[in-house]
Amino acid sequence: MVKTLTWIFAFAAMTLSCSSEERGDFELEYRMRFELPANANPLLTHVFEQRVASSWISFLNSNGLKEEDIRLVRPSLVSIAPVLDREISYELVSEAHAGIYDPADPGGKLFVGDLYDNVEAPAELLLLPGLADVREIVRQPEFFMQLEMRIRAVPGVVSEHFLVVRFDVFLK
């Protein structure tokens, strides 16, 4: 009897803890445009990075918030999509890792999205979002977005893409 109650309680706890998806109170999105060259070498890791102006202050002002109102800023969606909805197969990409860092602290890079062993060819490539609190980086006047990507074969044609990182902003 006690063993049965323990199993029922454990099952109920797991169901309740997994059933609600935590969403932020607000969303903040940044994009980085990059170009994959036609002669990209599949033996190398290709690194694309761009300095991005932060919209943190305007985000706070437009939503009537203050710094002390924010509890957490965490990635919720990280994707790679073609520019202008062009047809492209992302089966070419074997691995991708997206990160952001403060220009004053390049060693403090936080990974915001990862993809290992891609076997699909979707129209938009979704990376698994990270769990790091990136508030200290996105509140800087500017920061770097970086994408490290490994490919399976030489693309043969130049293609333009967006790295889109959407953050959930949680209030206290």
Kindly report, residue by residue over 138-161, the tens digit of the pLDDT.
999 999 999 999 999 999 888 999
Residue 52 to residue 44: CA distance in whole angstroms? 25
Domains of the chain: 26-171 (2.60.120)
| pLDDT at residue number 122 | 66
- Percent with pLDDT over 70 in the chain: 84
At residue 141, φ and ψ (nearest 5 deg) are -60, -30
Residue 91: pLDDT band with limits 50, 70, 90: confident
| pLDDT at residue number 4 | 47
Cα–Cα separations (whole angstroms), residue 127 to 63, 170, 172: 28, 21, 28
| pLDDT at residue number 88 | 73
| pLDDT at residue number 69 | 96
Residue 152 DSSP label: S
Mean of the pLDDT values across residues 99-128? 87
Residue 6: pLDDT band with limits 50, 70, 90: very low
Mean of the pLDDT values across residues 1-24? 50
Q: 4 or 55: which carries more pLDDT confidence?
A: 55
Q: DSSP E strands: which ranges in the chain?
A: 26-36, 46-53, 70-82, 93-101, 110-115, 125-129, 142-151, 159-171
Residue 109 to residue 153: CA distance in whole angstroms? 28
3-state helix, strand, coil in the chain (%, to 5): 25, 45, 35
Residue 44 to residue 35: CA distance in whole angstroms? 16
Helices and strands per DSSP (H, E), number in the chain: 3, 8
Residue 161 to residue 79: CA distance in whole angstroms? 10
Q: Which residue has the tokens 């202050």?
A: 57
